[in-house]
Amino acid sequence: MGTFIKMNLDKATYQATADINKYDESTREGIKRVIAEGVQSTYETAVRLAPYGTTGNLKTGIKKEVRGSYGVVRSTSPHSHLVEFGTAPRIVGPVKRVALKLPRFDPTMGWAGFVKGDIYNGKMPKAPFMKPAAEENKPKIEAAMQEVLKGESH
């Protein structure tokens, strides 16, 4: 599933990337450079902010892509949305059985242990990493784009 957070850039930055062909070659290259640097910076921030679990899959699942004046940073880990947004209380119950086998070691019973009914695991608090990465880098991208557009001559 992954996580999708949209970075809504200011109008000038959005227009520059959408209408890139109306600019001269130097300005087009500047726009592409700003996007590439912004994607790289956002990617690095997301990786830095992502919690490190036992497998490290959350951090390694963060990917980046730049295509000219378009860039994407996304989290491809299937559980990333659960980390980013948290969960409601989780309930585990037996499926097609009367009791649920507990998947833990009990020193008095060994690997045995059953519970009748549901187990309430509580909710998982959110630990956002994608949205804060976007919010941290958005002003930098917009400021850099303004600098490129100031020197524009088309």
Give tens-digit pLDDT for 53-100.
888 999 999 999 999 888 999 999 999 999 999 988 877 666 666 666
pLDDT at 74: 93
The DSSP bridge partners found for residue 65 are 72
The pLDDT of residue 150 is above 50: yes
Q: Rounded CA gap, 27 and 154, in Å?
A: 8
Q: Which residues, listed in sequence order, are joined to residue 72 by a DSSP beta bridge?
A: 65
Question: Residues 72, 76, 78, 79: is their CA dihedral positive or negative?
Answer: negative
pLDDT > 80? residue 134: yes
Give the pLDDT band of residue 154 (cuts 50, 70, 90): very low
